[in-house]
Structure 1
Amino acid sequence: MEDDSLIPRVDPVFAEMNKNLGKPPLIVDLRPINSPMVLVTSHEIAELLAKPSSLFPTSAPKTSLDDFHHVIGTRSILAPVGENWKALRKIFNPGFSLQHLFTLLPAREGKTSLFRDHPERHARTENVFPIQPLVVNLTFDVIGAVVML
């Protein structure tokens, strides 16, 4: 039997829908409540949907974010598709090059060693503790350290 405490937290409405429908790996279409949508609860189906195809050679289509331009800006990398996305992504490519990522290792290592101390300290007490806050803090610490370099 699956331990529900191990399942990542999702929107309670979707979790309830999934439960009420017998936990299918895929739920499609919420019309007339909302635009057509797919809720994927299976890693295998998520992988199939993420793979390029002849119809979508770069990736699955994105939901339009046009209504969010006041939040994400008019040239956000989140909204474009196809060639427009590729042009914007090209701007970010140097920041993800292996050579550049190696220059960030010292900042990441310092934050990771601080993170490692917390679970070790908790483990010595033999008490159960939530790991999520520690991981969230690590994520923000690493991002902050890298941005400030």
Structure 2
Amino acid sequence: MCNMGLKESKKFAIGSFHENGGGKFEILERWFDEKTNQVMLKYRYLGDGRIETNKEANVNASEWKWRKVRGLAGNRAESSPIKEEERVTMTRLEERLNDIYIKIENLFVENTNIISDIHHEFEEHRKILHEMMHTLAVQQKQIEQLVNDRSLINKLLEKV
């Protein structure tokens, strides 16, 4: 999408690949959102195929932080290089966080399915209750008619 005033980006060109804490992703779309006055990105994670939309500045910061943690960005004079054992620990931590994220996503899908089932059952019970209320109304009218008929029969019997 090309909008007025939005220059083409070399870094976030459509089809370019990047990586952050969430994994590797491909840029699908870049546009200027007039509501927020921000450049927005739509991207797809290669690992699980999920698609996200975020501000370009947020994606850039996320990518930079991810690179900095791995010693690939930032002023090297200010920070000491990451030791291999720390890198392994961070990789394991990231894998555990990704596993937790996947479990949360699965629980979300499961709960969504359960809520959908409950909603369906609620609608079925509502229909049954509505039918029962209709049947009771019909029976109430029949009872009233029988009472009227009995009253009429009693009056006729009194006259006989």
Q: Same fold (TM over 0.5)?
A: no
Q: TM-score normalised to the size of structure 2?
A: 0.21
Greater C-alpha radius of gyration = 2
Q: Structure 1 length normalisation: TM-score?
A: 0.22
Normalized per residue, the structure richer in strand is: 2
